[in-house]
């Protein structure tokens, strides 16, 4: 199965990548070369082979337990801030127009 230019345009639209005509042609060639390189894999009989979802079998949750610990008091944290307002950090606006928040 090889990709057409229309396939490449649909993939580009789906991934929101703007391509000009020359790029579509080049990308089609590159993707079809990758498909050709991977073609030998299709020769193997994989019926009955379980899919691998994680390279380390039996791994479930690597996150630590969520344990509540004492933290810095709000007043202490706000005392370290350059600017505060109504019990919150006050920071300059970085997007759009408006006053500092």
Rounded alpha-carbon distances, angstroms, from residue 87 to 1, 65, 76, 79, 81? 61, 30, 11, 10, 11
pTM metric for this prediction: 0.47
The pLDDT tens digits along the chain (101 residues) read 799 999 999 999 999 999 999 999 999 999 999 999 999 988 999 899 888 776 666 667 778 888 999 999 999 999 999 999 999 999 888 877 665 54
Residue 73: how many CB atoms within 10 A of its CB?
9
pLDDT for res 99: 58
pLDDT at 100: 53
């Amino acid at each position: 199965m090889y990709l057409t230019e229309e396939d490449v345009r649909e993939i580009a639209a789906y991934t929101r990548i703007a391509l000009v005509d020359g790029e579509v042609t080049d990308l089609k060639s590159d993707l079809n070369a990758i498909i050709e390189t991977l073609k030998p894999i299709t020769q193997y009989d994989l019926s009955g082979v379980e899919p691998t979802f994680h390279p380390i079998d039996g791994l479930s949750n690597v996150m630590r337990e969520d344990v509540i610990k004492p933290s810095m008091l709000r007043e202490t944290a706000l005392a370290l801030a350059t600017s505060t307002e109504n019990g919150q950090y006050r920071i300059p606006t970085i997007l759009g127009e408006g006053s500092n928040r």
